[in-house]
Structure 1
Amino acid sequence: MAAEQARQRRAAPWAPPVLSGDRLEAGLRNLEIDVRRRLDGLLQGNHLGLVPGPGSEAGEARPYQPGDDVRRMDWAVTARMTQPHIRETIADRELETWVGMDLSPSLDFGTAVCAKRDLAICALAAVTHLTRGGGNRIGAVVATGQRTDRYPARGGLAHARGLLRKVAETPLAPEGTRGDLAEVLEALRRPPRRRGLVVVVSDFLGEVNWLRALRGLSTRHELLAVEVLDPRDVELPDVGSVVLADPESGRQREVHTTPLLRKEFAAAAAAHRTEVASALRTVGAGHLVLRTDSDWIADMVRFVMARKRRWSGA
């Protein structure tokens, strides 16, 4: 598997760098260069970085456009101009970002160019470098199911690089360790933190028992959910007999990948993805999907540009 992934990495110029062993430091440097080269400057004029949105300070009024939030309607200007107007808001000048990282054993898996864990760290790197500067701060809660590490929100390049290094060096949890995304979200909720941006990075596999905690976060923070997927999370290949293992329970089962089994597996995976997307939509969270077989930076660019068009009224 490792040799196959190395071959695929060489064939895919967009593949994430290796973030383990003696190649960790070089990989983190390459990752920072990739993020800055392809993403830096993408959000010129949008202070809130990945999730540009309304702030708390009143700005200028402009004519209403279909799709605008009616709660931002400026009735005084509307009555004076006899045309619907909304009031723009200006973002706060300092942003505090908190990242909830799910690094449970289910993310130590990958059949394409990298493991889902590597892609999760890439997502953290993008958020870190895009929201850095201007007095902004970033902190993280990282959980593997066996341990939970908290890194306080601070600013500066040294803190950003140190945070990425510490998260990348987080030891893997032993097989059979069950992760708990709801616990990660509760750790972000309590104690209450300054209003800002909360980013949740996970594969969102398993029971959707985290909705209540996420809804609690949405009342105070702007939310972004980064869903990390592998092709084998959504479909089974036609490989005959294969042993399937659940890394978070340790259970194994040998199955034969018949067309009927593959169809049922794909249907169940699609239903779960739909349930996750619906849950994120109900709390107003941005939903970014990254796959181990896709150009993750291109996917992030498309997501950011779609958010920009939505908030600009285009």
Structure 2
Amino acid sequence: MSSISGPPPSLKDDKAEVVLRKLEMTVKQKLDGLLFGNHLGLVPGPGSEAGESRVYHPGDDVRRMDWYVTARTTTPHVRETVADRELETWIVVDLSASLDFGTADVEKRDLAVAAAAAFVYITQHGGNRVGAIITTGEETIRVPAQSGKAHGDWLIRKIIETPRAKDGTRGDLGATLEELRRPQRRRGLIVVISDFLGEPTWARPLTGLQARHDLIGVEILDPRELELPNIGLVTLTDPETGQTVEVQTADKGLRTRFAEEARRQRAEIATGLRRAGAGHLRLRTDRDWLLDVMRYVANRRRGAPGGALR
């Protein structure tokens, strides 16, 4: 695949402000004039928030009849809807210790930050509000939804500067998503960025959010999570538990079993997202991340079911 952007900036090599500006330049240069529009079609339709009632006119959609007002006034009325011109986007970012891993161009954490920045820049126009909930396992950071470029930059900088988890505790993605269910928020877009490893505690609350929100699951992965190379005896460490195990990668049977289990795991993640009604964008540390984002958004604008991209 030809690259249009190269790997995202490394959080280890650059300061937060440098990473922010690199991401801004990369995303805007590639997306400006190509994908920008009213929410890029991420939340299509005339709107779902109830508006004022008005007198019925011939040609109005009878499905929007306001029967309560019609009965009270004896004059046919229809209920207008508020067009979703002001979108509220919530970005849930999982920065658990398992994201501090990468064997290709960057770490998964770098890719997660880049994905968050892309969706901030995509959705922040036209008075749209963007907020974030960041979970590391040690702490949960909440950034309230506000509009404006300054707020968007501050939100991205907050994600960049989030310290790495020290004790290796995995963030509870399910509990984080529950925070978006209570109190109930106005209809909008929720983008969940994670590797979705561990127990699928996220499946149930994500399903509960689909009634009022458009959902996108951004799955972050590294090629070594899909298959093991033949490099002899290696010691592997679980970044979230600290447990180590020696693996003889020269064993072809072991490599085959690992690949099969990895495929099963990823299939379960894809199924869980699909059942929750979420679009599925998969970003890999060895692929052009921005090209994958652009293709995904273009598919959603064309109305592709779920906007899935593998």
What interval of TM-score do these two structures reach, taking the shorter chain for normalisation?
0.7 to 0.9
Compared with structure 1, are the counterparts of its residues 256 and 95 closer, same or farther at alpha carbon in structure 2 (3 Å cutoff)?
same
Whole-angstrom CA distance in 2 between matches of 1:254 and 1:55? 57
Cα offset, 1:24, TM superposition = 2.5
Provide, for residues 145-170 of structure 1, a one-character-per-residue CA deviation record: whole Å limited to 9, x for no partner.
00000000001111111111111000
Corresponding position of 1:85:
none
Which of 203, 208, 223 is equivalent to 1:216? 208
- Once the two structures are superposed, the pairs formed by residues 2-151 of structure 1 within 5 Å of their partners are 14-20=6-12, 23-45=15-37, 47-49=38-40, 51-56=42-47, 91-151=83-143
- Once the two structures are superposed, the pairs formed by residues 197-212 of structure 1 within 5 Å of their partners are 197-212=189-204
Contact 2:95/2:134 (CA < 8 Å) preserved in 1?
A: yes
Compared with structure 1, are the counterparts of its residues 57 and 214 closer, same or farther at alpha carbon in structure 2 (3 Å cutoff)?
closer
Cα offset, 1:20, TM superposition = 4.1
Cα offset, 1:44, TM superposition = 4.5
Residue 172, structure 1, aligned to residue 158, structure 2: no
3-state SS of the aligned residue for 1:226? strand
Compared with structure 1, are the counterparts of its residues 50 and 113 closer, same or farther at alpha carbon in structure 2 (3 Å cutoff)?
farther
3-state SS of the aligned residue for 2:257? helix
3-state SS of the aligned residue for 1:263? helix
Corresponding position of 2:76:
none
Residue 275, structure 1, aligned to residue 268, structure 2: yes
3-state SS of the aligned residue for 2:15? helix
Residue 196, structure 1, aligned to residue 188, structure 2: yes
User: 1:280 is matched by which residue type in structure 2?
Assistant: L
Provide, for residues 129-188 of structure 1, a one-character-per-residue CA deviation record: whole Å limited to 9, x for no partner.
110121100000000000000000001111111111111000100143222111121122
Compared with structure 1, are the counterparts of its residues 205 and 55 closer, same or farther at alpha carbon in structure 2 (3 Å cutoff)?
farther
Contact 2:236/2:245 (CA < 8 Å) preserved in 1?
A: yes
Cα offset, 1:51, TM superposition = 2.0
Contact 1:229/1:291 (CA < 8 Å) preserved in 2?
A: yes
Compared with structure 1, are the counterparts of its residues 75 and 265 closer, same or farther at alpha carbon in structure 2 (3 Å cutoff)?
farther
Larger mean CA deviation between 173-182 and 260-269 belongs to 173-182
Whole-angstrom CA distance in 1 between matches of 2:95 and 2:189? 20
Compared with structure 1, are the counterparts of its residues 53 and 252 closer, same or farther at alpha carbon in structure 2 (3 Å cutoff)?
same
Compared with structure 1, are the counterparts of its residues 182 and 99 closer, same or farther at alpha carbon in structure 2 (3 Å cutoff)?
same
Gaps of 5+ in 1: 1-10, 59-73, 77-88
Cα offset, 1:27, TM superposition = 2.0
Corresponding position of 1:81:
none
Normalising by structure 2, we get a TM-score of: 0.83
User: 1:30 is matched by which residue type in structure 2?
Assistant: K
Residue 296, structure 1, aligned to residue 286, structure 2: no
Identity, % of aligned positions: 53
Contact 2:4/2:290 (CA < 8 Å) preserved in 1?
A: no
Contact 2:48/2:187 (CA < 8 Å) preserved in 1?
A: no
Corresponding position of 2:155:
163
Whole-angstrom CA distance in 1 between matches of 2:148 and 2:112? 22
Compared with structure 1, are the counterparts of its residues 90 and 34 closer, same or farther at alpha carbon in structure 2 (3 Å cutoff)?
farther
Contact 2:43/2:188 (CA < 8 Å) preserved in 1?
A: no
Cα offset, 1:19, TM superposition = 2.8
Normalising by structure 1, we get a TM-score of: 0.82
Corresponding position of 2:177:
185
Whole-angstrom CA distance in 2 between matches of 1:260 and 1:50? 46
Compared with structure 1, are the counterparts of its residues 104 and 174 closer, same or farther at alpha carbon in structure 2 (3 Å cutoff)?
same
